[in-house]
Homo-oligomer: A and B are copies of this chain.
C-alpha cells in the first residue's frame, strides 16, 4: 500500500436546446459552474466530482447533478469517454468519466447562483480539460441522433415538426428541414401523430399538427435489420 494519490471523478455535460438571445433559432447549451477558489478560480467547470466508495459511476453522476446543480429532469444519461491523461489536473492523478446528460427543451431546472447556461459555440474560459469533454459529448450527441432514437431526449412529450426540426438542427449544428426530418423519422417508425394541433403562435397562421415519439427509449436504428432472418414474431 502507498499513499493514495489517485482519484476518480465523474463530470457531466448537461446539454439542452434553449432559446438563443437575439436569434430566432434555439441553440445547444451546456450547464457550467464557476470555480471561486483553487487552481481554476474564475474558470467555468462541468458539474460533477469525486465518486464515493459506495456508488458506481452513473449513480454518482445522478447524485452530483441533484446535489450540486439541482438538475433532476434528465431524459438521457450516458457515459461518453474516460479522460485519463496523467497530468489532466494539477497535483494528483484523477481519472474522469465524462457523461452526456440531456434535458428536454421544456425542462426548466432552478440552478444555483454560481451556475449558468452557455451556448456550446460560445463557451467561457473552462477549467482543466473540460472543453475537450464538452467537445466529445457534443460529437456523441450529434452522431447518436443519426444512428439511434435519441432525438426523443431533446423534445417535450408533444411537439410540432417545426419545433422538432429546430431541436435537431441545434444539436446537429446545421439547419434541418422539417419535411426531410419527418420522412426519416417516419421511415424508422419513430413519429406518431397525436391527432391534435398546437394553438396558433403569436404570428397566427395555420394550426400545426402535434406529434410525439412512439417510444421515449433509446434504440439503435439498425441498418442491417433487413438482413436478419425472419423470427417467430415476424410470422
Contacts and interface: CB of A to CB of B under 8 A. Distances in A.
B93 A95 contact: no
A79 interface: yes
Contact of A57 (B1, B84, B228): B84
Contact of A227 (B8, B95, B176): B176
A56 interface: yes
Contacts of A86: 53-56
A206 interface: no
Identify the interface centre among A81, A84, A168: most chain B CB within 10 Å of its CB.
Answer: A84
A121 interface: no
Interface residues of A, number: 47
B147 A84 contact: no
B85 A146 contact: no
Interface in A214-235: 220-229
Contact of A8 (B5, B57, B95, B143): B95
Interface string A146-173: 1110000000000000000000100010
A93 B95 CA distance: 14
Given A1-B3, A51-B84, A95-B95, 14 more contacts: A4-B5, A8-B8, A8-B95, A54-B86, A56-B85, A143-B222, A146-B221, A146-B223, A174-B227, A174-B228, A175-B229, A176-B224, A177-B227, A184-B224
